[in-house]
């Protein structure tokens, strides 16, 4: 497995693969890989001749008071896992080679990135779309695989690809959970045992919301969200948001909405966790 540290090395590799007619699948990550990431690599492996995993804790998607410095990192373990899962190359640059000190060009999606995490983390999605656009220009992938745990990120990236005509097919991979129901996340590493046990409430309230919304439709949303908030607070979670939006527009649901995205961000201790579920209210 190859390891590239600079954009130029990766782009030369990607161009050579493209010229020899090989297809490429990219799995963008920030490292500290867990079973969720590995499932993305497995999907990529089935799709294309060449699999590239990027491991880059992207500074421009973190706010000034967020966890950039303490974000967990373990390159040795990550690269071993990538190799075991059949990756052909890992791209692991330092921030200094990704962003010139006077970098002044950014990619911004302006609608789907407004609510939910976009409202609470100003600049976050601009950082994500900018780095993903750069990764697409470097890895030249035919496919790129993203997890549905970051449902809003997935929608924003799909919109960017459509609006800017990137020749990439975005593949949405199912959210992977621990046996307890807790959604896998690199940030779970911050949780104490007690916080981890309490955080199981998140998947429990999402599971309970689904049948209630299928049964009650969009009129049931206020009561369902209220019940979710109550249970989360009872378990000691500090709510950032608990919302239900139209799953394709990320706007407040209307009678026309076919699918709802029920999404939440909740702190346990200092750790902010996100989770979501999709609900088909109309068939």
Closest to ligand PAF by CB, 28 vs 118, is 28
Q: Shortest Cβ distance from residue 228 to ligand PAF (Å)?
A: 24
Binding mask 115-134 for ligand PAF (x = CB under 6 A): -------------x--xx--
179 catalytic per annotation:
no
Which one among 9, 67, 83, 150 touches ligand PAF, defined by CB under 6 A?
A: 150
**Which of 113, 153 has the CB closer to ligand PAF?**
153
- Check residue 253 for interaction with ligand PAF (CB under 6 A): no
Residue with Cβ nearer ligand PAF (33 or 266):
33
Q: Tell me if 140 contacts ligand PAF by CB under 6 A.
A: no
Total chain residues near ligand PAF (CB under 6 A) = 10
* Residues between 13 and 72 that touch ligand PAF (CB under 6 A): 28-30, 58, 61
Q: What gap in Å lies between CA 150 and CA 265, rounded to an integer? A: 11
CB of 233 to ligand PAF, least distance (A): 28
Residues that bind ligand PAF (CB under 6 A): 28-30, 58, 61, 128, 131-132, 150, 153
Question: Which amino acids are annotated catalytic?
Answer: 37
């Amino acid at each position: 497995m190859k390891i590239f540290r600079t954009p130029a090395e990766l782009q030369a590799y990607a161009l050579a693969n493209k010229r020899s007619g090989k297809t490429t699948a990219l799995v963008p990550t920030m490292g500290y890989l867990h079973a969720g990431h590995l499932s993305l690599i497995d999907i990529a492996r089935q799709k294309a001749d060449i699999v590239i995993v990027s491991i880059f804790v992207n500074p421009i998607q973190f706010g000034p008071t967020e966890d950039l410095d303490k974000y967990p990192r373990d390159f040795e373990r990550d690269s071993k896992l990538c190799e075991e899962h059949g990756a052909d190359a890992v791209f692991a640059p330092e921030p200094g080679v990704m962003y010139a000190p006077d970098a002044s060009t950014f990619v911004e999606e302006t609608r789907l990135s407004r609510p939910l995490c976009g409202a609470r983390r100003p600049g976050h999605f601009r950082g994500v779309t900018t780095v993903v656009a750069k990764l697409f220009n470097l890895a030249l992938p035919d496919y790129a695989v993203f997890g549905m745990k970051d449902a809003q990120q997935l929608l924003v990236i799909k919109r960017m690809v459509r609006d800017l005509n990137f020749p990439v097919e975005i593949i949405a991979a199912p959210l992977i959970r621990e046996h307890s129901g807790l959604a896998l996340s690199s940030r779970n590493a911050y949780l104490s045992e007690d916080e981890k046990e309490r955080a199981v409430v998140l998947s429990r309230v999402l599971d309970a919301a689904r049948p209630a919304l299928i049964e009650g439709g969009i009129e049931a949303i206020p009561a369902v969200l209220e019940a979710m908030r109550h249970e989360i607070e009872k378990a000691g979670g500090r709510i950032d948001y608990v919302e239900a939006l139209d799953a394709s527009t990320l706007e407040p649901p209307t009678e026309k909405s076919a699918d709802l995205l029920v999404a939440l961000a909740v702190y346990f201790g200092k750790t902010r966790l996100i989770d979501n579920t999709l609900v088909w209210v109309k068939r």
